[in-house]
Structure formats: C-alpha cells, structure tokens
Amino acid sequence: MIRLDKYLSDSGLFSRRDASRLIRSGAVTVGGMPLRDPSAKIDEETASVAVKGQPIGYERIRWYMLNKPADTVSTTDDDPKSVMNLLPPELRRVGLFPCGRLDIDTTGLLLLTNDGPTAHDLLSPKKHCEKRYRFTCLPLDEDQVRRLEGGIELSDFTSKPCKVTLDDPGHGAITVTEGKYHQIKRMFLAVGSEILSLARETFAGIPLDPSLAPGEWRTLTEDEIALLHTNSDHSGV
C-alpha cells in the first residue's frame, strides 16, 4: 500500500506538492471515483488511477540507458555538467542515480536507476560484472598486452586479470570486472602507454544501443533488466 500523493509523484509527472493539489481539487480518480485525500492508501499494484481522465501507471523500479557524452560527470550533485541534466525534469524527480561512474572525458554506456540493491550488487567486486571499453592509445605491443591482461600492480591495488584485443597497435577493446577510479588509464600508463580516448560499449552483457546519439537515453527493455538481475542477488521487486 502507498499514499496516493506518493503514487503520483513516483510517476515522475508531478511533484509531491502538485500531486497533493490535484488530489484535493478532485482531479484524481481511483477506480473511477474522485479521491480527495492525499494521504489515502491505495494498492499500487492493482489501483486504477487517473488524473483528469488520463491513466497514471505506477513504476517503482526504473532503469535507463544513457549514451554519456564527453565533458559530463556521473553524479547526482547540483552540477551543471551532471549527466542528470540530460534527462527531462520528470525523471529527475524519481531518485535516479548512475549505476557506476564514468570519468568526465569517458563516453558511452551509463545505466541510471533508482534500484539501489541491484545497483550495489552489480558494482560489487565479488560479482565480477564485465564492462567492455573501446580505446585509442599510444601504441601497444604484445608484451604490454600480456602485462595488462595478467594484472597490474598499482600504488593502491593490483588490477584483476582482464581481456585486451587490438585492432591495431593504437586501437582496441578492453574488458574489465572492476571499476576503480581512473583504473584503465592508470593500467595503460603503468605499461608505458597512454589512453587517448575511452568509451564504454557494454555493462553486464548489455550493449550500448547504437541508435542513441551522445546525450540520448532510453528505458531498458524487460530482457535487459532481466539480464541485470541474473548478475545480482536481487529480483528488482
């Protein structure tokens, strides 16, 4: 059971204050009948709610895919460069946050959600959740690739084994199961190379939708959400 005003605000279409105002005005119906008490409890799974005749569905858990552009930050802070500013106002009201972070100049797949338990599981080092990135770099040779794949001892941790494939000495893909601060950039520097550009292609088996231009987003499909849940201990319900 959930309060009627929270039901409406969780839809992302209304602020809590606007929801209360609409309810008191008689514009909100439940089961076809006006309900003017914002604190009235309803069953979010079965209730038929409408505002001025327009049905309003309830969606507690949300997952979105964003093609993160460069010069944006993966934060919910009040920052003009925050990726949250790429979303419409109604989605910025439902408690979304980035599932993991990408550096300011790293682009590509970023998942946004309000599902804290599942996101926590996916980001846990124990889950070995794979993330693949395309990169350009200062030229790598076979020995440097072997060193990267075997794990690099850095000042604060040793990276886990990863997979590197090269298209040519300066372009390729790397698949890691960690996501520490500047990790890939630090790994390349440690073997005498340098990352020039980095873009995430996949996260937990979900590829970036090629139809999304930088800054565009879409809702995850049911199959994509199910794939995330197979990598976590939470069902999302």
pLDDT of residue 12: 67
**Most confident among 40-44, 91-95, 198-202, 225-229 (mean pLDDT):** 198-202
Residue with more model confidence, 14 or 218: 218
Is residue 236 over pLDDT 70? no
pLDDT at 145 over 50: yes
Q: How is domain 2-55 classified at the CATH fold level?
A: 3.10.290
Select from 3.30.70.580, 3.40.50.300, 3.30.1330.180, 3.40.50.2300 the CATH code of 63-124+206-230. Answer: 3.30.70.580
pTM above 0.85, yes or no: no
Tell me the two tokens of residue 58: 């309830």
Please give the structure tokens belonging to residue 54: 């327009």
pLDDT in tens, 106-143: 999 999 999 999 999 999 888 889 999 999 999 999 99
Query: Residues of the chain with pLDDT > 90: what percent?
Result: 74
The 10s digit of each residue's pLDDT in 20-54 is: 999 999 999 999 999 999 999 998 878 899 999 99
* Predicted pLDDT of residue 14: 80
At how many degrees (to 10) do helices 116-123 and 222-230 cross? 60
Q: Where are the domains of the chain?
A: 2-55, 63-124+206-230, 130-203
Give catalytic status of residue 37 as yes or no: no
**Residue 201 contacts residue 194 (beta carbons within 8 Å):** no
The single-letter code of the amino acid at 180 is: K
Let me know: does 107 contact 69? Beta carbons within 8 Å: yes
Among 3.40.50.720, 3.90.1170.50, 3.30.360.10, 3.30.70.1560, what is the CATH number of 130-203? 3.30.70.1560
Per-residue pLDDT at 235: 44
pLDDT score for 74: 95
* Active-site pick, 103, 115, 141, 156: 103
The yes-or-no answer to whether 63-124+206-230 and 130-203 have a common fold is: yes
> What local confidence, expressed as pLDDT, does residue 61 receive?
85
Strand blocks (E) in 130-208: 131-137, 163-168, 171-176, 195-203, 206-207
> Rg of the chain's alpha carbons, rounded to an integer?
22
